[in-house]
Amino acid sequence: MSDPLGLVNSGINAADRAGLPGAGAQSVKVNASGETFKDALMQNLEKLNEAQQEATAAAEDLVTGQRTDVENVLLATQKADQAFRMALALRNKVQAAFDELKQVRI
């Protein structure tokens, strides 16, 4: 997946908008493996998309008669469901953190 709108890591950080010291310097946190939050998020969204596509393909194969193993189809759909629920929980946490940051007065 890509960032079609350019919203993630757009180069404008909070220090620039608030006029705080350090403005003008882009502050992107990188973990020990050299991966940014955006990279980790995009990788996990790609894995989520793959799981959902596998579950859809498995369900379609079951309906068309190309598969007979109902257990594996159920496992694939449950895996995709769990991945989606985890992504939704992450989105809710990020949204709550953003809402909390909006309340901070400078």
Phi, psi values for residue 78, rounded to 5°:
-70, -40
| Rounded distance between C-alpha atoms, residue 77 and residue 95, angstroms | 27
Residue type, 77: T
Q: How many CB atoms lie within 10 A of CB 55?
A: 21
Q: What is the pLDDT of residue 34?
A: 79
Q: What is the mean pLDDT of each run of 10 residues along the chain (106 residues)?
A: 56 50 56 83 94 96 93 95 95 95 89
CB 67 within 8 A of CB 58: yes
| Rounded distance between C-alpha atoms, residue 88 and residue 15, angstroms | 29
In eight-state DSSP terms, residue 5 is: T
Q: What is the pLDDT of residue 50?
A: 96
| Rounded distance between C-alpha atoms, residue 71 and residue 79, angstroms | 12
Q: Per the structure block, which two tokens stand in for 68?
A: 């007979």
CB 26 within 8 A of CB 13: yes
